[in-house]
Amino acid sequence: MYSLDITLEAVLNGLLTGAVYALIALGLTLVYGVLHIINFAHGALLTTAMFAVWVAYTFLGIDNYVLIPFLAVIFYALGYALQRFVIGPASHGDDGNILLVTLGISIVLENALLAIFRSDTRSLTSDFSFEVLEVGPLLISKPRLIGFAAALVVTLLLWLVLARTDTGKAIRAVAKEKLGASLVGIDVRHIYAVTFGIGCATLAVAACLLMPTFYVNPRVGGAFVLVAFTVVVLGGMGSIPGALAGGLFIGVVESLSGLYLGESLGQIGIFLIFILVLLFRPTGLFGARA
Amino acid sequence: MLEIKGLRAGYGGVEVLRGIDLSIKSGEIVAVLGSNGVGKTTLNKVLSGVLPASAGEIVFEGRSLTRASAVDAVEAGLIHVPEGRKIFPNMSVRENLELGSYRRASKNRASNLERVFNIFPRLRERTDQAAGTLSGGEQQMLAIGRGMMAEPRLLILDEPSLGLSPLLVEEMFTLIQSLNAEGLPIMLVEQNVVQSLETASRAYIVENGAVTLSGPAETIRNDPELKRAYLGL
Ligand SMILES: Nc1ncnc2c1ncn2[C@@H]1O[C@H](COP(=O)(O)OP(=O)(O)O)[C@@H](O)[C@H]1O
Ligand SMILES: [Mg+2]
């Protein structure tokens, strides 16, 4: 058994990481909830965004936090174009095709990154990565604290957009009733692309928040996406509050099982939960609400 | 205001509409009648741009809508309240109505919302209720209300009385008449022949994807062939 302080610190660290997991899961769950597809390119797009952060920081000297709005806009446009001009037209409305198209995109992206950057692992060389905040006996990593706060803000923003704006309402309408949406003049293909764009923009933000304390190589996205899938299943496919709660929960589980089972077994706790949820609560712990 | 000539359409290789001719003048209620599966809903889908026409033409207020998208149709004010309502079940009554003005008349959203609530006081009492939890009759009111939010130039109602209790059916036809009394042209697509013919000024009978009989509702009501086929007389 560990002391209370150490356990508390592990829980805290888990929450900090979990918020960024939630952010990564957000795009996945939103795209699933609206387009009813599982985006297999999610991980490769995250990797691409992380390399973009690294390149901007290393060669252009752009701070990763300053980069957030710019990269978000670029990735929104990229996601919009991908859905509108590649995934949509190539799939002919067939879900099986969409799956293959997103898988194809992920292979293309990964190999392009491999060709450009080799399989080396890179990280930002910044002193800020190691700065900590002392709260009583606890040491809290500053970049992870910022990541936590920013991830919560982005989740809240997205929730507000979906709840309050016409575009957000159109997204929710298309998710449940395509024909009804068309008949009030909603351009369903446009809304699909907007949704995919938002999913990519949240990945861009996540990449900016992750990079100070993480590394990037052409395959890194896969590890995050496995966790994000667990979060999505746990929170209920298509549910945004579910993704947030699921992300925080998974972060804590990973951190605690890492503490008690050892760093290399930390992710076992996650997959145990994944399997248990699939067996006993396939609709997710928090029910499904889009 | 609406002219349809030789309209053909279908699904995949199967032709459902085999040359429909139909017209609606301003201020009219026109009934389009026929039994299940003759192509009434398909016609509505083509008119509202969700299904392409393979031949023929559609002219609405002097403008061709033959190749129009659903967005174009709504922008032109041709508003289709579909069979089965197709409301947004996960959203509140208010949000459903707001989305009715997503593409058209969004500037007058507040005053139109008030107007719809005056027509349907039941909806006002349920502003924040999820639309999926409304009763069938209330969902039909919501679907019509959502259509009204776009300030329609022509309202197409597909089977508005389907699945309603006899009392509500009566209420629905009264409502259709009162909407029309304010000058709104209505294309009433129904299987309920008797009440539709009482409500409409003119009617078209569709069989197997083509119009087989048309004229003033009065005349059609007394047509011996129709009496035999639809009224069992
Ligand atoms: N989405 C569809 N795909 C293929 N066939 C359809 C589809 N919708 C309707 N049909 C067929 O088209 C014909 C006309 O249907 P419909 O227009 O719904 O008739 P109605 O509204 O008069 O009952 C029917 O034979 C029906 O089976
Ligand atoms: Mg029908």
CB contact under 8 A, B50 and A173: no
The first and second tokens of residue B218, run together, are 């009065």
The phi and psi torsions of B100 (rounded to 5 degrees) equal -60, -25
Average pLDDT of the segment spanning A28-37: 92
The amino acid that residue B186 corresponds to is I
Closest CA to A18 of A208, A273, A243, A266: A243
B37 lines ligand 1 (CB under 6 A): yes
Which residue, B161, B208, B177, B170, is CA-closest to B35? B208
The answer to whether residue A243 is domain-embedded is no
More confident residue, A19 or A267: A19
Q: Which of 17-76 (B) contact A at CB < 8 A?
A: 48-50, 69-71, 73-75
| Domains, chain B | 1-77+153-232 (3.40.50.300), 84-151 (no CATH)
Q: What is the per-residue pLDDT across B197-216, written as a single tens digit (0 to 9) for each?
A: 999 999 999 999 999 999 99
Q: Is the pLDDT of residue A56 over 90?
A: yes
Would you say residue A159 lies in a domain?
A: yes
User: Which atom of ligand 1 lies nearest, measured to the CA of B209?
Assistant: 14
Decide if A12 is inside a domain. no
ipTM: 0.95
Q: Give the DSSP H/E element, type plus range, for residue B187.
A: strand B186-190
Residues with Cβ within 8 Å of residue A198, at least 6 apart in sequence: A27, A30, A76, A79, A158
Does residue A225 lie within any of the structural domains? no
DSSP sequence for B23-90: EE-TT-EEEEE--TTSSHHHHHHHHTTSS--SEEEEEETTEE-TT--HHHHHHHTEEEE-TT----TT
Q: Give me the amino acid identity at B67.
A: R
Confirm whether A276 is domain-assigned. no
Q: Return the ligand number nearest the Cα of B40.
A: 1
Question: Is residue A238 in a domain?
Answer: no
**Chain A to chain B Cβ contacts (< 8 Å):** 74
Q: What are phi and psi of B154, to 5 degrees?
A: -145, 130
**Ligand 1 mutation target, pool B7, B8, B11, most atoms within 8 A of CB:** B11
Does residue A173 sit at the B interface (CB-CB below 8 Å)?
Answer: yes
The pLDDT value recorded for residue A290 is 37
Instruction: Indicate the pTM of the whole model.
Output: 0.93
Which residue's CA lies nearest to atom 27 of ligand 1? B37
Q: Provide the token pair at A232.
A: 């999505």
Number of folded domains that form chain A: 1
Query: Which pair of structure tokens corresponds to residue B117?
Result: 């609530």
Which pLDDT belongs to residue A285?
A: 72
Q: Does residue A155 fall inside a structural domain? A: yes
Q: Answer for the pair B54, B63: CB distance below 8 angstroms, yes or no.
A: no
SS3 of residue A217 by DSSP: coil
Residue pLDDT, tens place only, A62-86: 999 999 999 999 999 999 999 999 9
Q: Is B181 on the interface with A (CB under 8 A)?
A: no
Closest to B41 measured CA to CA, from B80, B96, B2: B80
Domain containing A136 equals 23-218
**Do the Cβ atoms of A228 and A19 come closer than 8 Å?**
no
Which residue has a Cα nearest atom 26 of ligand 1? B37
How many A from CA of B36 to the centre of ligand 2? Answer: 7
Is A15 contained in some domain? no
Note the ligand closest to the C-alpha atom of B162.
Answer: 2
Residues 6+ apart with CB under 8 A from A60: none
The answer to whether B50 contacts A169, with C-beta atoms less than 8 Å apart, is: no
